[in-house]
């Protein structure tokens, strides 16, 4: 019996289906690697063969275009005209090749391919090209030769997490500047990376690296899969960024988009060889109904070669530490998971899943961990597919983590639809801990999508327009105090209930007030809202700094505990009518009073017997609170003969309204003779 099924008896009726998907991946791997000694990593070296490369004293260009009838290499050196010396030769299996003398190209030259098919033709950017630039005047994209005399050499080894959970700072290089412009890799490296390290995060997850024609797509409409976006700088600039992150002890995780591709034909691969089906499905499955993008056909070996090589390329060339796979739910199901409820186990094995896509994800995870054993892979999947974050040999799909996407949706729904007095600790506990216990999750309180125009971040939903008028430290505002209190509590309960890691989108740690609106015709191509106003948290006279300080100390607490995410999480107390929640993790007890107005004196919570001290308090004045709690007071559990609670006693606490406290057991006590 597969271990995945052995660990979950409810999967027994579906063991055959789980075994079948695993067998399919093994069979496909054998098929793909028959000419590469059974080594998947050798199979996935397409980026060393295809595209433009300098080999000794000549240039070679190769592309796969099975439907093409002729391909011409156009560049600055031949005035962008067809030329016999720049005509590619067709080899076997739809591969085209061209050798050119060393003098034909130089660093910085622009080039494209002119592809002909069945009486038609079109200019194309090579599918495997590794650098693409946009002309600032014409706005047209073209490939560019990037072959500096002294290419960047990495200086620092990849860091590795040991006993601490994965704490991710999700970011977008272009909008990580306070100036109204597109930020660069160099600016991010110099100005933002040190701040991320100082804030207490140990990983940076970078969005929008893979080249995309439309800036406002947030990087999710990819055109050139092997090219780091040139709007932020050169490939070497990106390498320096990664290297500096490693120097600071930060892992670098990249958003990888293999769930779909942009429909652009000149810039992208939507119709590279004159057909829409070279890389993608035909018929109704070609276009994603919600994203208006092209859907990969993972059943084609050439597509697998392209995508698997893409995974290895980013690991090898840029020394990345892993990937967050975008749109995994869309890949898993033929209907992209749209309007599916996923309420029972049969919803995962009812014939709607895409077996080819599941096979690809299994092989991708196997390859990534083969190329770099310490690599981290994260699945963006809201369906809850069993085994998503379990090893292949157990019957899983092989990811290390899955995003716990229900949590940010829950918080927004709670704030929008329920008054403060209706917040139920039972629901909060359920949503933050509702997951498969054998799979590691990344918890997060809010999504970057919630910061986009038309939506609101948590802090804006909590405080709304009052943020514009009452965030000065000297300004007393009940609305702002209430919003800040809940913002800290939400983040604390989300982060400290994780079983794997925690994620924050840049700026949310201090309650960035502005939404995200990329430059577009509707806003006169303004960058006003496509940036981060870091100074709000650093200028010394606004309340944003209090939220940032709390975020820092919350992470410091988590990182101070060995194997924090692996510690047992035990609910100690839940009172919905009083809106109090308490739970235990290791030697720490977390107590939350979500009630908007009721403070409790001598409130009793069951906790492991011992002496406790407060180590973190959301109401602390240094975090913008009222400072109602005295951290010097020691707290002892009290024994009660009328109850039998297996080593637990009553912890009597003062619980201010809208406050959470973290207590550390500093001494184990025998409370059998302590006064009741």
Active site amino acids: 326, 380
The residues, ordered by sequence, that sit 6+ positions from 86 with a Cβ below 8 Å of its Cβ are 72, 73, 74, 75, 78, 98, 100, 104
Q: What is the sign, positive or negative, of the torsion defined by CA atoms of 562, 565, 571, 576?
A: positive
Helix-helix angle 301-318:15-32, to 10 degrees: 80
499/479 Cα distance (integer angstroms): 33
Count CB neighbours of 239 within 10 A. 19
Instruction: Answer for the pair 242, 153: CB distance below 8 angstroms, yes or no.
Output: no
- Judged on CB neighbours under 10 Å (0-12, 13-18, 19+), 236 is middle
Q: Residue ranges of the alpha helices (H) in 325-382?
A: 328-332, 355-371
What does the DSSP assignment read for 561-594?
A: STTGGGS-EEEEEEETTTTEEEEEETTEEEEEE-
How many Å is the Cα radius of gyration of the chain?
27
Alpha-carbon distance of 85 to 98, in angstroms, equals 9
- The bridge status of strand 58-64 relative to strand 95-101 is antiparallel
> How many other C-beta atoms can be found within 10 angstroms of the C-beta atom of residue 459?
24
Question: How far is 359 from 305, CA to CA, in rounded Å?
Answer: 13
Whether 73 and 104 have beta carbons less than 8 Å apart is answered as no
Contact 464, 521 (CB under 8 A): no
Neighbours of 540 (CB within 10 A): 8
Identify the CA nearest to 675 among candidates 623, 632, 624, 636.
636
Residue 539 neighbours by CB distance under 10 Å: 11
Q: How many CA atoms lie within 13 A of 656 on its CB side?
A: 18
Residue 654 exposed, middle or buried by CB count within 10 Å (0-12, 13-18, 19+) = middle
Is-contact 327 380, C-beta < 8 A? yes
Structure tokens at 633: 């007071």
In this structure, how many other beta carbons lie within 10 angstroms of the beta carbon of residue 647?
11
One-character DSSP codes across 262-305 = ---SSSSSTTTTS-STTTB--GGGSB-TTT--BPB-TTSHHHHH
- Those residues whose C-beta lies under 8 Å from the C-beta of residue 461, and which sit 6 or more positions away, are 412, 415, 416
Distance CA 470, CA 483 (A): 12
Q: Which token pair is 76?
A: 């600055």
d(CA 168, CA 439) in angstroms, rounded, equals 18
> Are β-strands 322-325 and 251-256 bridged in parallel, bridged antiparallel, or unpaired?
parallel
Alpha helix stretches (DSSP H) within 191-343? 193-199, 235-247, 301-318, 328-332
């Amino acid at each position: 019996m597969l271990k995945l099924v052995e660990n979950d008896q409810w999967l027994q009726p579906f063991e055959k289906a789980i075994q079948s998907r695993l067998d399919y991946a093994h069979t496909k791997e054998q098929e793909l690697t028959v000419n590469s000694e059974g080594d998947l990593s050798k199979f996935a070296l397409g980026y060393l063969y295809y595209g433009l490369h300098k080999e000794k004293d000549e240039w070679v260009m190769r592309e796969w275009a099975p439907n093409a009838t002729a391909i011409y290499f156009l560049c600055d050196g031949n005035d962008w005209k067809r030329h016999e010396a720049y005509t590619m030769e067709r080899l076997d299996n739809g591969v085209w090749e061209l050798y050119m003398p060393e003098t034909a190209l130089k660093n910085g030259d622009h080039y494209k391919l002119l592809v002909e098919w069945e009486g038609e033709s079109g200019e194309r950017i090579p599918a495997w090209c590794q650098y693409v630039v946009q002309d600032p005047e014409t706005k047209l994209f073209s490939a560019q030769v990037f072959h500096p005399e002294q290419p960047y050499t990495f200086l620092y080894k990849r860091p590795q997490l040991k006993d601490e959970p994965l704490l991710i700072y999700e970011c977008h290089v272009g909008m990580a500047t306070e100036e109204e412009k597109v930020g660069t890799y160099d600016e991010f490296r110099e100005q933002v990376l040190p701040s991320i390290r100082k804030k207490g995060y140990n990983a940076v997850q970078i969005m929008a690296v893979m080249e995309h024609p439309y800036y406002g797509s947030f990087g999710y409409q990819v055109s050139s899969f092997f090219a780091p976006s040139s709007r932020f700088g050169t490939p070497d600039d990106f390498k320096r960024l990664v290297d500096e992150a490693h120097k600071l002890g930060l892992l670098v995780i990249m958003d990888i988009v293999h769930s779909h591709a942009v429909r652009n034909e000149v810039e992208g691969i939507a119709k590279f060889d004159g057909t829409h089906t070279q890389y993608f499905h035909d018929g109704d499955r070609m276009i994603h109904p919600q994203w208006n993008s092209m859907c990969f056909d993972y059943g084609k070996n050439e597509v697998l070669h392209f995508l698997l090589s893409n995974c290895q390329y980013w690991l090898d060339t840029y020394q990345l530490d892993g990937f967050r796979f975008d749109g995994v739910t869309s890949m898993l199901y033929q209907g992209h998971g749209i309007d599916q409820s996923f309420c029972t186990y049969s919803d995962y094995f009812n014939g709607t899943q895409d077996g080819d896509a599941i096979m690809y994800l299994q092989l991708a995870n196997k390859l990534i961990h083969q190329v770099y054993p310490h690599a981290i892979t994260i699945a963006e999947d809201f369906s809850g597919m069993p085994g998503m974050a379990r090893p292949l040999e157990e019957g899983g799909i092989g990811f290390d983590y899955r995003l716990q996407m229900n949590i940010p949706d829950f918080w927004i729904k709670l704030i929008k639809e329920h008054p403060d007095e209706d917040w139920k600790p039972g629901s909060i506990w359920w949503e933050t801990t509702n997951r498969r216990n054998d799979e590691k999750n990344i918890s997060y309180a809010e999504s970057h999508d919630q910061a986009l125009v038309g939506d609101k971040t948590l802090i804006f939903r909590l405080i709304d327009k009052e943020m514009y008028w009452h965030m000065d430290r000297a300004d007393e505002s009940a609305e702002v105090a209430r919003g800040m209190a809940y913002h800290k509590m939400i983040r604390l309960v989300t982060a400290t209930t994780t079983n794997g890691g925690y994620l924050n989108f840049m700026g949310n740690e201090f309650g960035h007030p502005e939404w995200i609106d990329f430059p577009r015709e509707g806003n006169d191509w303004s960058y006003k809202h496509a940036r981060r106003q870091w100074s709000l948290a650093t200028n010394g006279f606004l309340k944003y700094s209090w939220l940032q300080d709390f975020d820092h100390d919350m992470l410091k607490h988590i990182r101070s505990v060995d194997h924090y995410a692996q510690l047992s999480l035990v609910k100690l107390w839940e009172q919905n009518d009083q809106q109090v929640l308490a739970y235990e993790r290791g030697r720490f007890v977390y107590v939350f009073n979500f009630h908007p107005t009721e403070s409790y004196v001598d409130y009793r919570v069951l906790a492991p017997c011992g002496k406790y001290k407060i180590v973190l308090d959301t109401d602390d004045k240094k975090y913008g609170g009222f400072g109602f709690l005295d951290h010097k007071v020691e707290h002892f559990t009290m024994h009660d003969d009328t109850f039998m609670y297996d080593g637990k006693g009553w912890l009597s606490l003062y619980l201010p309204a809208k406050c959470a406290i973290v207590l550390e057991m500093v001494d184990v006590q025998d409370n059998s003779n302590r006064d009741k």
